[in-house]
């Protein structure tokens, strides 16, 4: 999984940086594969290192803990949201911009792998608490991206409300998607919630 930067122009990636990124991605993919196969608690750092074909000590050059691998998954989705908001036309309504960015982000979440990851994150109280905490982090990130796009101070309360409402919509859609065991794409659930939310706001 490659993180998307919202910078307008990116510096050319050097050989050392590319190798480091590729190694980090290989470790993260190995960790996630083992988490899904064995469970999070049952997966050891030794097993991740062996699967990624690295020494155990090398792991700590890229991740502090195995929990950090889960954080890298969130980093990828957050980068996607930031990039979409950064690309948006500032003449559009912020609510519509975030809706579109979220729908783009979840468009690939109908796969079996995505459902397996969702089940993993709901498999223990600790992981579920992490998942819920991630929503708050996501809300703050979206708010920061919106205030960067629309910098007028008097818009801040409205932009905070947009971030709060959209993340709340994502939570509702995610819960409905999980409850139905992915029989409908997450994107469809999110469209339903956004449609209801937009109707309530404009009523």
pLDDT range class, residue 113, cuts 50, 70, 90: confident
The CA–CA distances, whole Å, from 180 to 68, 83, 174 equal 29, 30, 10
Residues whose CB falls within 8 Å of the CB of residue 3, separated by 6 or more in sequence, listed in order? 75, 76, 79
Radius of gyration in angstroms for the set of CA atoms belonging to the chain, rounded to a whole number: 18
Domain that holds residue 91: 67-202
86 in any annotated domain: yes
Are 128 and 30 in the same domain?
A: no
Q: Average pLDDT of 110-133? A: 87
114 in any annotated domain: yes
pLDDT in the model for residue 202: 52
Q: What is the CATH number of the domain that holds 43?
A: 1.10.10.60
Are 27 and 108 in the same domain?
A: no
115 in any annotated domain: yes
Please state the domain count of the chain. Answer: 2
Q: Residue 90 pLDDT > 80, yes or no?
A: yes
Are 77 and 46 in the same domain?
A: no
Are 45 and 111 in the same domain?
A: no
2 in any annotated domain: no
Are 132 and 174 in the same domain?
A: yes
Q: Residue 173 pLDDT > 60, yes or no?
A: yes
Are 35 and 110 in the same domain?
A: no
Asked if residue 139 lies in contact with residue 163, where contact means CB atoms within 8 angstroms, the answer is yes
Are 27 and 89 in the same domain?
A: no
Q: What is the CATH number of the domain that holds 72?
A: 1.10.357.10
Are 98 and 49 in the same domain?
A: no
Residues of the chain above pLDDT 70, percent: 91
Asked if residue 186 lies in contact with residue 107, where contact means CB atoms within 8 angstroms, the answer is no
Are 55 and 142 in the same domain?
A: no
Higher pLDDT, 120 or 198: 120
Are 92 and 47 in the same domain?
A: no
Q: Residue 37 pLDDT > 50, yes or no?
A: yes
Are 142 and 54 in the same domain?
A: no
Residues whose CB falls within 8 Å of the CB of residue 100, separated by 6 or more in sequence, listed in order? 84, 88
Helix H, strand E, coil C: the string for the chain is CCCCCCCCCCCCCCHHHHHHHHHHHHHHHHHHHHHHHHCCCCCCHHHHHHHHCCCHHHHCCCCCCCHHHHHHHHHHHHHHHHHHHHHCCCCCCHHHHHHHHHHHHHCCCCCHHHHHHHHHHCCCHHHHHHHHHHHHHHHHHHHHHHHHHCCCHHHHHHHHHHHHHHHHHHHHHHHHHHHCCCCCCHHHHHHHHHHHHHHHHHC
Per residue in 48-83, pLDDT tens? Answer: 999 999 999 999 999 999 999 998 888 888 888 999
Are 103 and 144 in the same domain?
A: yes
Asked if residue 192 lies in contact with residue 170, where contact means CB atoms within 8 angstroms, the answer is no
Of the three residues 39, 59, 79, the one that is the final residue of a domain is: 59
């Amino acid at each position: 999984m490659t993180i998307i930067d919202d910078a307008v122009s990116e510096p050319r990636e050097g050989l050392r940086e590319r190798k480091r990124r590729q190694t980090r991605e290989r470790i993260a993919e190995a960790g996630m594969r083992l988490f899904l196969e064995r469970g999070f608690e049952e997966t050891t750092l030794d097993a991740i290192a062996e699967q990624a074909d690295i020494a155990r000590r090398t792991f700590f050059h890229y991740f502090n803990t195995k929990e950090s691998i889960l954080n890298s998954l969130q980093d990828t989705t957050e980068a996607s949201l930031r990039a979409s908001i950064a690309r948006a036309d500032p003449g559009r309504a912020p609510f519509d911009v975030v809706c579109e960015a979220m729908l783009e982000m979840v468009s690939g979440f109908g796969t079996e792998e995505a459902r397996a990851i969702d089940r993993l994150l709901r498999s223990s109280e600790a992981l579920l608490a992490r998942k819920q905490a991630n929503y708050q982090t996501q809300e703050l990130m979206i708010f920061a991206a919106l205030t960067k796009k629309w910098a007028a101070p008097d818009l801040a309360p409205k932009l905070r409300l947009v971030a709060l409402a959209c993340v709340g919509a994502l939570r509702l859609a995610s819960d409905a998607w999980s409850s139905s065991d992915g029989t409908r794409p997450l994107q469809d659930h999110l469209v339903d919630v956004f449609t209801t939310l937009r109707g309530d706001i404009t009523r």
